[in-house]
Structure 1
């Protein structure tokens, strides 16, 4: 393939992507007028709150469970409501014991941006989980690992949703 043809192909792909509204996600997850995230939880020491606090570091966002000490800082408040975990039966062994579950991890929270009304949000994360009654201890540990992974994914999703939630805010009156 010649260099000119390769250049024309790249140019055409770029025009098509720009024309359909595609754009790369930025690294900035907070609106410009906020520079700190406060994590509040209805349950003290909630695992999701700890996971969210750790994930803020990965996204290079300042935050934590304490309000900032400097009064001039504007902050976003994420209030986590109790997490929900449900199990839906998917299959059973010939003996009638449960072989496989679908785990449904429900996350409810409210986000409050500076000078705005709180925005309630909810989403679910689904995972299949195979149960083995002969290996109860190993399966218990595996369930803990799956729940930790689901909480990490939930924290990532909360952080990635912040920019779109910032655009749908309603001023406090």
Structure 2
């Protein structure tokens, strides 16, 4: 009985403090169709964006299919620099930065805000050279998820502001 009470108390405390699962986003965006304008095609970033939008039941449509909003997406940029040197004068740690510029527009090409930049930086140990390339690719995948989450959170805020400015009720 004490274990049950303790478990329920801990559950109540974690829900009351605003705790949420890692990677969880704001409530779903209140849109059904979006057009993604991108200079690149079939990239890992676009695939991650498609997965995120699909999880919120938002369809990526062509420009001529009456999208509600447009996401103008720039090229993904990667920067890698050495941040640590070992005793053998070889790189012992790297910093990896992934960034993308984007802007959200209405279907009439009216910007909902300034052009934004999502950016994620991580460092990783390079002392063990076995699997270093694989580690970097896994890290980039995780970073792309974070880039998309940043864009989705910003889109949520911009769309809520836009709905409030138009006089519509927000949920």
Same fold (TM over 0.5): yes
CA contact (8 A) 1:43 1:82 kept: yes
Unaligned runs of 5+ in 2: 1-15, 19-24, 167-171
Structure 1, unaligned stretches of length 5 or more?
A: 1-13, 18-24
Give the secondary structure class of the aligned counterpart of 1:96: coil
Please identify, of 87-96 and 113-122, the stretch whose mean Cα deviation from structure 2 is larger.
Answer: 113-122
Q: Which residue of 1 aligns with 2:125?
A: 130
Asked if structure 2 preserves the Cα contact closer than 8 Å seen for 1:79 and 1:110, the reply is: yes
Q: How many aligned positions are there?
A: 141
Shift of 1:26: 5.3
| Cα deviation 1:139-165 (Å, max 9, x = unaligned) | 111111111111111111111211222
TM-score normalised by L of structure 1: 0.69
Contact kept, 8 Å, 1:36 with 1:68, in 2: the verdict is no
Q: Max radius of gyration: which structure?
A: 1
CA RMSD, Structure 1 to Structure 2 (Å): 2.8
Cα gap change, 1:91 to 1:164, in 2 (>3 Å): same
Query: Is the 1:81–1:108 contact (alpha carbons within 8 Å) kept by the matching residues of 2?
Result: yes
Measured in 2, the distance between the counterparts of 1:91 and 1:53 equals: 36
Is the CA contact (8 Å cut-off) linking 1:38 and 1:78 kept in structure 2?
A: yes
How far apart in 2 are the matches of 1:103 and 1:128?
Answer: 6
Partners of 2:61 and 2:134 in 1: CA distance: 28
